[in-house]
Amino acid sequence: MPMSHVQAPNSSRIIPLADLQAQHQRLWPELQPAIDRVFATSDFILGEEVRLFEAEFAAFCHASEAIACGNGTDALELALWAIGVGPGDEVITVPNTFAATAEAIVRCGAVPRFVDVDPQTLLMDVSKLESAITARTRAIIPVHLYGSCADVSAVMEIASRHGLSVIEDAAQAQGATSHGKKAGATGRAGCFSFYPGKNLGACGDAGAVITSDRQLADRLRQARDHGRAGKKYEHAFVGRNSRMDSLQGAILRVKLRYLDAWNARRREIATMYRDLLAGTSVVPVAVPDTSEPVYHQFVVRTAEREALRRALDEEGIRTGIHYPIPLHRQPAFAPYVSVAEADRLSVADATAGQILSLPMYPELADRDVCRVAASISQCRPAARIPAA
């Protein structure tokens, strides 16, 4: 075993926000031979393990193709580029996401346009989508934040009426469903990150695009590998280097077999949190009834976040904030947003100061879920967030 996992048995033991060491310790007997297989061939980039992972991940998502790439940000950028997004275009997304979503849009030369989110689910408010569409709009990126799917069918309906493509940012939602379809499988393409902390995480950077559009898949396969056209030194167009390592492919193949069980355990923990936190000062973020979620994060809203966060920290309970600054307030993206547009994003603005992510990982024990909930119940804040 390459790692040690020392934990004191007392109740002041740290409860982390996530625990990759616990996962890797359990899986090591399977990870070790998978890693050995790659070293035995020295086929380190886009090798057999990546090819097999692509097939297995596509099957898992009920998509016809998966194209592995360097990371989730590249997956988004490659997908946008492959459907023809470029300078002069606008792409609509939400402001309460990781920077990568908007970064990919800007990297393609396009302008991000933000629509506000639903106050209960914090997912794209589809009722506000149509008013953000202009003559320059080319695509829409709904983000399946925290592992709950935005209503992709409703987005698709509006998109097809306006001749727009839908690219799903499914980085946090491997295995979740929207209207019974797997995250990423409804839009023209679905983009995934296998950053170590994601529900399905590599041991380094990795990502993938899924699609059932054969031509798009071929274009993506070439684009991630220098625009190569079959032969090693023939280049059909200027591509880039965004390839998955065979080591990551081998590791992801081992982990993919556990993903459904891990996601089921995350849902179990979420149910416990909901039961135990009912009547306390925190309000869990809602899941739309069109989605079976995978709880990448379990997020609550609280009127006194900093006080609660500090109190939990003193109890050894680690929390996170995803994300503290909405993208339209970031120096990186503010130049693309007018003051009037930013002022319309009031839900994203208001909730950014209230959200708190609680410990959530499949190995989290029931007694630790209870300890987190008990610590929250003991906090008596002066203010509550207004009821729904």
Ligand X SMILES: *Cc1c(COP(=O)(O)O)cnc(C)c1O
Q: 101, 280, 281, 319: which one contacts ligand X (CB under 6 A)?
A: 101
The Cα-based distances of 237 to 80, 129, 232 in angstroms read 16, 34, 13
Q: Smallest distance from the beta carbon of 341 to ligand X, in angstroms? A: 21
248 binds ligand X (CB under 6 A): no
Locate 11 and state its tokens. 């109740």
207 binds ligand X (CB under 6 A): yes
C-alpha closest to that of 165 among 134, 138, 186: 138
Give the Cβ contact number of residue 242 at 10 Å. 22
Closer Cβ to ligand X, 294 or 376, answer by number: 294
Q: Smallest distance from the beta carbon of 323 to ligand X, in angstroms? A: 9
Q: 100, 176, 270, 285: which one contacts ligand X (CB under 6 A)?
A: 100
Quick note: the x/- pattern for ligand X over 211-240, rule CB under 6 A, is ------------------------------
Greatest alpha-carbon span in the chain: 67
* Count of residues near ligand X by CB under 6 A: 15
Q: Smallest distance from the beta carbon of 326 to ligand X, in angstroms? A: 13
323 binds ligand X (CB under 6 A): no
Q: Smallest distance from the beta carbon of 98 to ligand X, in angstroms? A: 4
Closer Cβ to ligand X, 47 or 70, answer by number: 70
SS (H, E, C) 34-93: HHHHHHHHCCCECCHHHHHHHHHHHHHHCCCEEEEECCHHHHHHHHHHHCCCCCCCEEEE
Closer Cβ to ligand X, 124 or 376, answer by number: 124
Segment near ligand X (CB under 6 A); pick from 71-79, 120-128, 132-140, 324-332: 71-79
d(C-alpha 227, C-alpha 233), whole Å: 10
Closer Cβ to ligand X, 253 or 371, answer by number: 253
Pick out residues in 156-195 that bind ligand X (CB under 6 A): 169, 171-172, 193, 195
Q: 57, 98, 295, 298: which one contacts ligand X (CB under 6 A)?
A: 98
Closer Cβ to ligand X, 199 or 246, answer by number: 199
d(C-alpha 338, C-alpha 90), whole Å: 14
Burial (Cβ within 10 Å: 0-12, 13-18, ≥19) of residue 288: middle
Q: Smallest distance from the beta carbon of 279 to ligand X, in angstroms? A: 31
> Cβ contacts of residue 377 below 8 Å, gap of 6+?
276, 277, 280
Write out the E strands in the chain. Answer: 65-69, 90-93, 111-114, 137-140, 165-169, 177-178, 181-182, 189-193, 207-211, 283-284, 291-292, 298-301, 355-358
Q: At residue 279, what are phi and psi to the nearest 5 degrees?
A: 85, -5
Q: 47, 61, 65, 71: which one contacts ligand X (CB under 6 A)?
A: 71
Which positions lie near ligand X, rule CB under 6 A? 71-73, 97-98, 100-101, 143, 169, 171-172, 193, 195, 205, 207
